[in-house]
């Protein structure tokens, strides 16, 4: 398949997106016959099954291929980065950097989000109401030119040729019998691997769903009550089994795409967020959407610092102080302004009194959302040494 991604560099972001959408329409038109395989999501009992695009049903073979690709630096044009260079398993596939740096050294304006239960996400990235499938979203790190992440654009053939090895031929053959290796198949298998990153086994889950009363501490139970209270309001935006409003699955019929301005900025008292990243308004062109970002899942939140779309809050403690203050007051520099008075701020971010003990209790509760096994689960890790030796070049 011929990719015409080059033209992305010239257009504005929404225009580039249009290009991506038409590219995806092409992908769908390929109309593949998939092996009929049932996939084991390893969900908890009675948990809803995530929805996947009809033209990319889950199979274990695709997940296995996607896993190898995710960790393979051959996917970047200059062979310096893989997906795992910005998404570390030990950080729930987030990264301990304020914002990411791409394979050519270009700085991304945003913080790499955790990849946790992405299969349930209604929309992808920090602030885009039109990106609804991982297949579409992955074109950004792979082919995007502003900023360059993996930098494949202009190097398509060179990159594809690197996967023409016995190891990959075998993996591709199992995942997509009778089809020749191309970016369509790479995107599909990477998306399948990302969907397989399911995390539902934290101490909180054992407390809430396995009736294990001792799975979390007294302090965490108090923190949970605060989290779900009308004083702290957290649950309105970070609610449901995935601790985000932005959830979609077989039982969720209402279309919810919630984005909120939380009062992080109010530059020169004009309500503005930094021009480099105005949030949802960049996509919708509606000034009312300035500063609106998606409320992310809070699962595994204790291991994904720094926080917010721009990584501008360093610790969980500081996040809670930010909510208690009802926004952020920046007193010096070009970002100065009192976010607490941002006219577009969501009214639920109204601030509250907070004792030291309450702060500690809320942190204890958020810590119970860490699924330790998810962070070391081998099925999500780089392929084993034996497999690795078959890959031509180094992997992350
Ligand atoms: C240079 C660092 C970097 C690389 C390489 C990278 N990502 Fe990301 N990833 C990010 C950042 C930053 C975002 C947030 C983008 C935004 O909000 O605009 C992101 C967002 C995502 C999301 C959306 C998550 C959500 O919650 O909506 C997924 C899925 C994802 N990346 C998967 C991948 C995969 C798969 C690869 C490899 C093909 C990859 N990423 C490569 C930094 C990176
Ligand atoms: C009005 C909706 C709303 C309410 C209420 C709310 N949040 Fe958020 N939360 C968001 C949004 C939106 C973001 C992302 C903001 C951004 O990046 O600009 C966020 C981000 C976060 C983050 C950082 C996530 C990450 O991956 O970086 C944490 C932690 C968090 N919220 C915890 C809480 C807690 C605890 C409460 C209750 C005290 C709370 N939130 C109340 C909407 C909300």
Query: Residue 221 maps to which CATH number?
Result: 1.10.760.10
Question: Do 364 and 314 share a structural domain?
Answer: yes
Q: Span 103-124, mean pLDDT? A: 95
Q: Span 188-201, mean pLDDT? A: 98
Question: Do 150 and 172 share a structural domain?
Answer: yes
Chain-centroid distance, C-alpha 19: 22
Question: Do 183 and 297 share a structural domain?
Answer: no
**Radius of gyration for the alpha carbons in the chain, expressed in angstroms and rounded:** 21
Question: Do 327 and 193 share a structural domain?
Answer: no
Alpha helix stretches (DSSP H) within the chain: 13-29, 60-70, 134-137, 139-143, 156-161, 166-175, 183-195, 203-209, 218-227, 234-237, 281-284, 316-325, 356-367, 372-376, 385-390
In percent, the amount of the chain with pLDDT more than 70 equals 85
Question: Do 317 and 231 share a structural domain?
Answer: yes
Pocket test for ligand 1, best of 53, 71, 112 (most atoms within 8 A of CB): 112
Question: Do 279 and 152 share a structural domain?
Answer: no
Question: Do 89 and 25 share a structural domain?
Answer: yes
The domain in which residue 322 lies consists of 203-370
CA-nearest residue, atom 39 of ligand 1 = 83
Chain segment 287-323, per-residue pLDDT in tens: 999 999 999 999 999 999 999 999 999 999 999 999 9
Ligand with the closest atom to the CA of 115: 1
CA-nearest residue, atom 9 of ligand 1 = 112
Residue 218 CA to ligand 2 center (angstroms) comes to 24
- Is the full-model pTM beyond 0.75? yes
Reported as a pLDDT band with limits 50, 70 and 90, residue 246 is confident
What is the count of structural domains for the chain?
A: 2
- Domain membership flag for residue 40: no
Question: Do 335 and 255 share a structural domain?
Answer: yes
Question: Do 219 and 146 share a structural domain?
Answer: no
Pocket test for ligand 2, best of 98, 122, 296, 344 (most atoms within 8 A of CB): 296
Question: Do 193 and 174 share a structural domain?
Answer: yes
- Domain membership flag for residue 46: no
Alpha helix stretches (DSSP H) within 73-202: 134-137, 139-143, 156-161, 166-175, 183-195
Neighbouring CB atoms inside 10 A of 384's CB total 9
Question: Do 352 and 216 share a structural domain?
Answer: yes
Q: Which residues pair with 338 in a beta bridge?
A: 329
Q: Indicate the SS3 state at residue 284.
A: helix
Whether 176 has a pLDDT exceeding 60, the answer reads yes
In percent, the amount of the chain with pLDDT more than 90 equals 81
């Amino acid at each position: 398949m011929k990719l015409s991604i080059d033209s992305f560099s010239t257009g504005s972001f929404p225009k580039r997106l249009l290009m991506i959408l038409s590219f995806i329409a092409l992908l769908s038109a390929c109309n593949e016959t998939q092996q009929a395989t049932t996939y084991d999501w390893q969900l908890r009992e009675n948990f809803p099954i995530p929805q996947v695009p009809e033209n990319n049903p889950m199979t274990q073979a695709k997940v296995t291929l996607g896993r190898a690709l995710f960790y393979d630096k051959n996917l970047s044009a200059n062979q310096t980065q893989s997906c795992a260079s910005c998404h570390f398993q030990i950080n729930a596939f987030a990264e301990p950097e304020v914002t990411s740096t791409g394979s050519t050294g270009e700085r991304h304006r945003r913080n790499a989000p955790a990849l946790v239960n992405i299969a349930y996400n209604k929309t992808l990235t920090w602030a885009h109401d039109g990106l609804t499938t991982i297949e579409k979203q992955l074109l950004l790190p792979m082919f995007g030119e502003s900023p360059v992440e993996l930098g494949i654009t202009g190097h398509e053939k060179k990159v594809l040729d690197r996967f023409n090895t016995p190891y990959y031929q075998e993996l591709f053959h199992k995942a997509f019998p009778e089809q020749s290796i191309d970016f369509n198949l790479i995107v599909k298998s990477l998306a399948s691997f990302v969907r397989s990153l399911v995390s539902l086994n934290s101490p909180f889950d054992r407390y809430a769903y396995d009736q294990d009363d001792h799975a979390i501490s007294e302090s965490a139970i108090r923190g949970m009550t605060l989290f779900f209270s009308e004083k702290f309001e957290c649950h309105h935006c970070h609610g449901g089994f995935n601790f985000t409003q932005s959830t979609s699955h077989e039982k969720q019929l209402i279309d919810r795409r919630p984005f909120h301005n939380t009062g992080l900025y109010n530059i020169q008292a004009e309500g503005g967020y930094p021009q480099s990243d105005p949030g949802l308004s960049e996509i919708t062109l509606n000034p009312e959407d300035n500063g609106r970002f998606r409320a992310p899942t809070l699962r595994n939140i204790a291991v994904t610092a720094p926080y917010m779309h721009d990584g501008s809050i360093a610790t969980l403690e500081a996040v809670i102080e930010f909510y208690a203050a009802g926004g952020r007051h920046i007193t010096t520099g070009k970002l100065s302004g009192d976010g607490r008075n941002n006219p577009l701020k969501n009214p639920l971010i109204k601030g509250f009194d907070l004792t030291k003990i309450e702060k500690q209790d809320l942190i204890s509760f958020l810590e119970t959302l860490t699924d330790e096994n998810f962070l070391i689960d081998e099925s999500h890790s780089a392929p084993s040494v034996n497999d690795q030796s078959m890959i031509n070049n180094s992997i992350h």
